[in-house]
Amino acid sequence: MKRRTLLTALSAAAGANAVRATTGGIATPAGAAVAVGQTVPWPDMALLGGGRFGPAQAAGHAVVVVFWSTTCPFCRRHNQHVEKLHRAAMALPGRRLRVLGVARETNADIVARYAQAQSYSFPITLNQPGLVELLSPRRVIPMTVTVDRQGRLKQALAGEMFEEDLLELLQLAA
């Protein structure tokens, strides 16, 4: 995670004066994206295959949100590591870490078929209007966003991550 920490610090310094995007309908103070350290106002989201993810599912849990696309080869490799993170999180006592995949596509059938073909077991939702803008001003995929157990935004990590870096995110559950 040292590589990622250094890159995050450098990108935060470079983007410190960036203008925040609006959230496209998700309510945040003054319509701004959530800043690191602020509480994330989770929208209620439908998951592929049934179920919901929202404030009740996030409460008291660390959350790793991964934005990805079925057409992105980097996302495919990245999500193999996300799947390992999800399986490891499910094995933790108390299951205090949740993993949520957010597909950028709008066709649920295409995403569901792709997820099944890749053997993804982590929960997946389609991109909600304003969700990516809520969590980060960056528009890259894959993008991994972390939220601590108190519901505060920790970081947004742009780009494909190494397996060991993703698995270190298990520490959020502590």
Q: Taking all residues of the chain, what is their mean pLDDT, rounded to a whole number? A: 85
Q: Which of 3-7, 27-31, 42-46, 126-130 is most confident?
A: 42-46
Tell me how far apart the alpha carbons of residues 86 and 94 are, in angstroms, rounded to a whole number. Answer: 14
To the nearest 10°, report the CA torsion of 17, 19, 21, 26.
70
Tell me how far apart the alpha carbons of residues 116 and 101 are, in angstroms, rounded to a whole number. Answer: 13
Statement: residue 82 has pLDDT above 80: yes
To the nearest 10°, report the CA torsion of 171, 130, 104, 172.
0
More confident residue, 57 or 25: 57
Query: Confidence band (pLDDT; 50, 70, 90) for 12?
Result: very low
More confident residue, 53 or 1: 53
The model's pTM is 0.82
Tell me how far apart the alpha carbons of residues 87 and 127 are, in angstroms, rounded to a whole number. Answer: 23
Which CATH number does the domain 2-12+33-173 belong to among 3.40.190.10, 3.30.70.2170, 3.40.30.10, 2.60.40.1120?
3.40.30.10
User: What pLDDT is attached to residue 174?
Assistant: 82
Closest by CA to 165, choosing from 149, 146, 148, is: 146
Evaluate whether 60 touches 98 at the Cβ level (below 8 Å).
no
> For the chain, which residues make up each domain, given as ranges?
2-12+33-173
The one-letter amino acid code at 147 reads: V
